[in-house]
């Protein structure tokens, strides 16, 4: 029975998440499976990936073939590299301690890279939030300045209008006296 490591779709329309499963290659995508070995949620940034590395490695050693997407996920989590190192130990290229040392170095570099991406995303979100607040503050200040200018312009003719009427009233008695 040829086995595949593949994704099984879950979730609702437009918001999928997936289970990593080991299934018979003839079974339907969301149908019967042999064992669930992990989960994958592409809706988060960075994507949430949870894989039971021991089970996945065991199935790879037994000959299960991962789909393209699952191969990428297993490579991202280090299962494919761990399988590669295990095969090197079987062939006698190096011992188990050397394989574990190499995997630990790789895992530390990968963790550092992921944490860097998370912090960069957080800083970008903070910068975007600050830019939005600054833009709103500037817009509010511009709007307040425009309103105060409009109010000052409306009050200025009202103050000047009685002063303009006063000389006209002064002219009126003079004209009346002239008649």
Q: CA 82, 86, 89 angle in degrees (round to 5)?
A: 140
Band the pLDDT of 46: cuts 50, 70, 90. Answer: confident
Locate the domains of the chain by residue range.
3-77, 94-157
The fourth-level CATH superfamily of domain 3-77 is Ribosomal protein S16 (3.30.1320.10)
CA distance 18 to 36: 11
| Rounded average pLDDT over 101-130 | 91
Enclosing H/E stretch for 106: helix 96-178
Own/partner pairs, 89-97, CB within 8 angstroms, 24+ separation: none
Read off the DSSP letter of residue 93.
S
Q: Are strands 48-51 and 3-12 parallel, antiparallel or unpaired?
A: unpaired
Q: Which residue did the predictor score with more confidence, 179 or 26?
A: 26
Task: Evaluate if residue 65 carries a pLDDT over 70.
Answer: yes
pLDDT digits (tens, 9 = 90+) for 78-94: 999 999 999 999 998 88
Site of tokens 């309103």: 147
Q: What is the pLDDT of residue 166?
A: 53
Task: Evaluate if residue 38 carries a pLDDT over 90.
Answer: yes
Band the pLDDT of 169: cuts 50, 70, 90. Answer: low
Cα 139 → chain centroid? 28
């Amino acid at each position: 029975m040829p086995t595949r490591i593949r994704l099984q779709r879950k979730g609702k329309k437009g918001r999928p998440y997936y289970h990593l499963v080991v299934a018979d290659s003839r079974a339907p995508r969301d149908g019967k499976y042999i064992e669930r070995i992990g989960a994958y949620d592409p809706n988060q940034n960075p994507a949430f990936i949870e894989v039971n590395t021991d089970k996945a490695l065991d199935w790879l050693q037994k000959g299960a073939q991962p789909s393209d997407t699952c191969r990428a996920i297993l490579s991202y989590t280090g299962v494919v590299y761990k399988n590669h190192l295990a095969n090197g130990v079987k062939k006698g290229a190096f011992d188990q301690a050397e394989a574990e040392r190499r995997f630990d170095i790789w895992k530390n570099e990968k963790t550092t890279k992921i944490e860097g991406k998370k912090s960069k995303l957080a800083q970008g979100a903070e910068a975007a939030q600050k830019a939005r607040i600054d833009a709103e503050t500037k817009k509010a200040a511009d709007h307040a300045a425009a309103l105060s200018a409009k109010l000052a312009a409306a009050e200025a003719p009202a103050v000047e209008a009685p002063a303009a009427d006063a000389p006209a009233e002064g002219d009126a008695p003079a004209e009346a006296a002239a008649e």
